[in-house]
Amino acid sequence: MSRNQQFLVVLFLGLAVRLLLIHLPGTEDMRTNQIWGAWAEERGITRVYVFDDSDYLNKFRLFMRGAPIPVSRVQVQTSLGIMDHVPDYPPLSLYIFWLASGLAKVMGGGQLQAGALLNVMFNVLPVLCSLGVVLLARRFAREEELAFSTVAVAAFWLNPALILHTPVLGYVDAVFALLGLGSLIGAYRRQFTLSVILLALACMTKPQAVLIIPIVAVVIWAERSGRLLRRTLLMFGLFLLLPFLPFILTGHFLASMRGIVQVAHVGYLSSQQTNLWWIATWIYGAISHGTAGALASQVTMLRVEEPSSLVLSGVRLGALLMWIGFIVLNLWWLRQELERGNRLSIFWAAAVQTYGFTMLSLYPKENHLYAFFVYALPLLFLGRRELGGLYATLSLVFGMNMFLIDGFGRGGEGPGHTLRMLGGFDLTLIIALGNVVVFAWLMTRPRWLYGLARNAEPSHLADRA
């Protein structure tokens, strides 16, 4: 077969698998998203964050007078179940959930109800966006005259871990990741206005998109143009604000902001992400029980607010310092590579930034490594074995992390949970240990493997820079 025929076979095979699985119910996160969509459909999108601005202004006035501030609790009924907290997603995601719920209601004869139709409506956009990632990365590779590789396409599109993520478990990361990839390509091509617009839209879809803000900022700063910096800052701020306009005009802006800032709260040492802190969770849990047998118990999430522990009281600060130090070093490498004319390093910087976040920060959950595979995809067309090996290894880590925690989603958790404890100990610890080893290996490679992209980059790209 020709290369184009190989590509089409891979494309249609991956699409067929996803279409067969698109009706699945996903995790509890997907159910929560569906309830948010039902609430927005029933009460109106501007009411999706529940409260009015006046509620928060009244609380502020009480605070200024030193009066007791009432606690606002959410317990509202929707056609799909009870919504027990204010949504903590940015507005673009909630617009998507609102639209998906409305379509499901129309196609369901005017009644919104849980089931395959609703699941399909919520899965279809993430599936289309993951397809968009493949098409965008392939087009980029062809236009920049990188080597065509069916294997590179298959590494993403036929990757079992990424199929498990979307659509089996119903995560929506593909939407913001596609926008993020578009932003990085725009930065690579010096189309900075387009880059910051897409970046703003990505941030307004899921908060994890903020990880590449420093990447794009360094690329713009490297142009040494004050006018460019001012223009891109203005455009970025404008497109951050635009999704909030309906809330501003109807008196629900403070409510929307209050909902979004909830993600800044870290409740656990590790939210089921098999990273450095998952191992620390296991060790601390075993020590607190005081028996060797506890080492073989299933690891459970540990609240970092636990007041009796002096050890945990400094965890937030320690994790924050590690994370900041990592970002500084990553941006340093990126800056040096840009000075060498290696603009492909933009994609590696974004991928490494995502991986470091999932390893060192307290915020990530089991699905948050997804963007790594999107941002690193253009580099797979370079055909570098070490990059390909890392991509494959982290795919295994990512897939096993999700499967052992979530199985195949609601009603299908059994296989994952059974495998997790099949050997008499928690298999997630082995995955976490392997993840730490891989991360340590990457951190000890010369220049964190940035040189692979530089060495493999076609000479005409460096000349263009």
pLDDT for position 457: 44
For 118-268, list the strands marked E by DSSP.
none
Number of domains observed in the structure of the chain: 1
pLDDT for position 291: 67
pLDDT over threshold 80, residue 456 = no
Confirm whether 370 is domain-assigned: yes
Query: pLDDT above 70 covers what percent of the chain?
Result: 94
Confirm whether 262 is domain-assigned: yes
Parent domain of 141: 3-281+308-464
Q: If you average pLDDT over residues 106-116, what whole number do you get? A: 95
Confirm whether 33 is domain-assigned: yes
0.85 cut: is pTM over it?
yes
Confirm whether 277 is domain-assigned: yes
Confirm whether 286 is domain-assigned: no
Confirm whether 289 is domain-assigned: no
Query: 70-84, 152-166, 226-240, 295-309: lowest mean pLDDT where?
Result: 295-309
pLDDT for position 311: 64
Q: What is the pLDDT of residues 334-383, one digit of tens each?
A: 999 999 999 999 999 999 999 999 999 998 999 999 999 999 999 999 99
Q: What is the pLDDT of residues 387-438, one digit of tens each?
A: 999 999 999 999 999 999 999 999 999 999 999 999 889 999 999 999 999 9
Confirm whether 250 is domain-assigned: yes
Q: If you average pLDDT over residues 210-236, what whole number do you get? A: 97
Q: If you average pLDDT over residues 195-202, what whole number do you get? A: 98
pLDDT over threshold 90, residue 3 = no
Confirm whether 295 is domain-assigned: no
pLDDT for position 285: 80
Give the model's confidence band at 65: pLDDT under 50 very low, under 70 low, under 90 confident, else very high.
confident
pLDDT over threshold 50, residue 465 = no
